[in-house]
Amino acid sequence: MSTKTREKSSEEKHEFQAEVAKLLHLMVHSVYSERDVFLRELISNAADACDKLRYEAISKPKILTGDTDLEITITADKKAKTLTISDNGIGMNHDELIDNLGTIARSGTKAFMDAVAAGKDKSGDVNLIGQFGVGFYSAFMVADTVEVRSRRAGEKAGWLWTSDGTGSFTLTEDDTAPARGTAITLNIKKDDKEFLEGFRIEKIVRDYSDHVAIPIKLIEMEKGKPGEERQVNEASALWTRAKKDITKDQYREFFGHVSGLFGDPAVTIHYRAEGRHEYQVLLFVPAEKPYDLYDPERRGRQKLYVRKVFISEDAEILPPWLRFVRGVIDSEDMPLNISREMLQNNPIVGQIRKAVTKRVLNELKKFAKKDEQAYAGVWSSVGPVLKEGIYEDMERRDELFELARFTTTASTDEVPLRTLADYVAGMKENQTAIYYITGDEADAISASPQLEGFRARGVEVLLLSDPIDSFWTTTALGYEGKPFRSITQGAADLDAIEAEKSDEKDKKDKETDNEATSALITAMKTALGDSVSDVRESKRLTDSPVCLIAGDGGLDRNLEKLLSRQQAPGVQKSAPILEINPSHGLLQVLASQAKAGSDVALIEDASRLLLDQAFILDGEPVSDPTDFAKRMTSVMQRAFGS
């Protein structure tokens, strides 16, 4: 039932969802030392409410009638022990108060509580609150009870939301709510009276909220009467100021305001574009991973303003693979009434998107060149998302290759990440491709038997463990004329590259009976039937007896596994190729048996066990655990003569 049709009601009592109740307990009873964070969060919410009103007023100008000057007012009353933060922004109705103050996105709440449980609250606790979207609830750190009076712009009914933060809240219609906007009154706890002192409030505002473009005014009550009102922030949009007039602390606080991450950004990009289109840009590349980086919607998180009027908080000015970049873009040319649908097709937006994307990539390149170690930290946090661009954006693929960093078989503790330029510079004589292997876990990939022949020849291999790696490697044509080639697909192509260890002992150890090997391969093909598409001698194995690879024409094995898990239409798991190492002691014994034509049952059991072993090494379960156990028992009995 809407607020327009709802009759004046008596008090309603609502329970917080379980996650909110747990969260409030954590926030009130945990180890938060920076308690003044609550004021920053409430001011930030009030500023957002004013921005939303400005945007709505573009299509509904009447909602501003009689009150066009937007502002935030903080009223401190020592006698009543209350602190009130009020705004004349968009306001909230009955349902919005329940949705916004009685519910938190479950993912954000869970992430917050996981962070506390992991002990992150012991260092940088101030960061956690804003980062996980729980800002309003920080009020309960300093307040016994919180009262929220609000009236939605354009609606008649006002509402009072009240809670002591112990598990429930009440909601009732209230005539004392502001004519438009929201007033939050905190009944300050006995031990937190410092937050009623004017000088303390003013310092918090200047430290945390000076960048807010809405005037913030402070009123101190004196003997029950309001004292002189004074403005306590600069109230000019930070991105409109000259860089020389902005301190590092101001940049940091604004970064926190737009991103929810309250450390120092890795890169700050601040400039004004003039010419055909005029716009101002203030963007940040975070030094750590935003908690919503892998949101399935992949929305950009850049705020769009038009002539300082807020338009959208997720305008997607940058492509999805730059969604970790946070900040503001303010256009002088776009129409004020531009809609989300128009944003996708507007030619001005398209040109701004292209120019800003190029600038961000250039700044990342400069950062990588200036401080490779710091850039490595950024890459570790957001590299998988940047690699989405390699897959999606053919036009910028070469630029992204310059930014890409990889763990490889040549990585060391001193240099854990390598560039493609490093790789190409270190290629062996007669090497014609950039080799890679993909998988789910970095450690498991590094131990893959398919790597043995490449390591023996000193050939570097990219170790790719992000899901996106299985996709971009199939579409990227290559780098500097060198194609990308999976070492788990097709022929190993290693004959032309000389092994680093080639003394006479190694040669003698690797001598094999070709006739016996051929007999074994024939016997194994017969034993394994349709379970494999082929059995063949391996050029890539030096120590392990067997490994699995995919054929030249199909999908790489890891990509096939990924698509099968996702039940992608038209994808069926194909029978792999089983490669054998004829120089391995076990295979030589089996080859002798096959050549002699003796103990066919042993060769069949061994063939099945070797195939299952290859699947296990590939990170897959055996197809029939019962059969695997029976064959293992049978082979062991033969070995021990029982």
Retrieve residue 119's tokens: 């002990």
Is 494 a member of any domain? no
Per-residue pLDDT at 123: 39
356 plus 415 within the same structural domain: no
Is 520 a member of any domain? yes
Per-residue pLDDT at 54: 87
Q: Which residue type does 627 have? A: D
DSSP per-residue string spanning 544-604 = SSEEEEB-SSS--HHHHHHHHHTT-TT--PPPPEEEE-TTSHHHHHHHHHHHHT--HHHHH
361 plus 376 within the same structural domain: no
* CATH number of residue 604's parent domain: 1.20.120.790
Q: What is the total residue count of the chain?
A: 642
Burial class (CB in 10 A: 0-12, 13-18, 19+), 146: buried
319 plus 393 within the same structural domain: no
Question: Nearest to residue 74, comparing CAs of 38, 100, 120, 23?
Answer: 38
Number of neighbouring beta carbons within 10 Å of residue 11? 10
- Strand 534-537 and strand 577-580: the pairing is parallel
**CA distance linking residue 235 with residue 69, whole number of Å:** 13
- Strand 279-285 and strand 577-580: the pairing is unpaired
* CATH number of residue 389's parent domain: 3.40.50.11260
Number of neighbouring beta carbons within 10 Å of residue 535? 22
430 plus 529 within the same structural domain: no
**CA distance linking residue 4 with residue 157, whole number of Å:** 8
Is 41 a member of any domain? yes
387 plus 287 within the same structural domain: no
Question: Nearest to residue 556, comparing CAs of 464, 429, 480?
Answer: 464
Burial class (CB in 10 A: 0-12, 13-18, 19+), 60: exposed
Q: How many domains does the chain have?
A: 4
Question: Nearest to residue 15, comparing CAs of 151, 184, 171, 149?
Answer: 171
Per-residue pLDDT at 340: 61
* Helix locations, 244-306, DSSP H: 248-259
**CA distance linking residue 252 with residue 287, whole number of Å:** 12
Last residue of a domain, one of 370, 386, 401: 370
134 plus 256 within the same structural domain: no
- Strand 230-231 and strand 143-151: the pairing is unpaired
**CA distance linking residue 407 with residue 419, whole number of Å:** 9
Retrieve residue 218's tokens: 């402070």
Q: Which helix (H) or strand (E) holds 628?
A: helix 625-639
**CA distance linking residue 259 with residue 257, whole number of Å:** 6
Per-residue pLDDT at 111: 53
**CA distance linking residue 145 with residue 425, whole number of Å:** 65
Q: Rounded to whole angstroms, what are the CA distances from 531 to 527, 535, 615, 635? A: 9, 10, 11, 20
CA angle, 365 as apex, 359 and 370 as ends, to 5°? 125
Residue 236 DSSP label: S
131 plus 169 within the same structural domain: yes
**CA distance linking residue 141 with residue 37, whole number of Å:** 10
273 plus 344 within the same structural domain: yes
> In terms of pTM, does the model score above 0.85?
no
Is 272 a member of any domain? yes
516 plus 617 within the same structural domain: yes
Per-residue pLDDT at 87: 96
Taking only Cα atoms into account, the Rg of the chain, rounded to an integer number of angstroms, comes to: 32
356 plus 381 within the same structural domain: no
Phi-psi group of 490: left, alpha or beta (phi > 0 → left; psi -120 to 50 → alpha; rest → beta): left
User: For the chain (length 642 residues), average pLDDT per consecutive 10?
Assistant: 49 70 61 72 89 87 88 96 96 90 53 54 42 69 94 95 87 95 96 94 88 91 89 88 91 87 91 92 94 85 83 83 94 76 78 94 97 95 96 95 96 94 95 93 91 94 94 92 92 80 49 86 94 93 93 80 70 85 92 88 91 90 88 82 62
Per-residue pLDDT at 126: 39
Q: Rounded to whole angstroms, what are the CA distances from 73 to 76, 78, 201, 431, 560? A: 10, 16, 12, 69, 59
Last residue of a domain, one of 453, 486, 519: 486
Per-residue pLDDT at 329: 94
Is 101 a member of any domain? yes
C-alpha of 462 from chain center: 22
Is 585 a member of any domain? yes
256 plus 227 within the same structural domain: no
21 plus 159 within the same structural domain: yes
Residue 410 DSSP label: T
Last residue of a domain, one of 370, 392, 411: 370
Is 493 a member of any domain? no
Q: Which residue type does 3 have? A: T
Residue 541 DSSP label: -
**CA distance linking residue 262 with residue 237, whole number of Å:** 19
Is 191 a member of any domain? yes
Q: Domain range holding 134?
A: 12-231
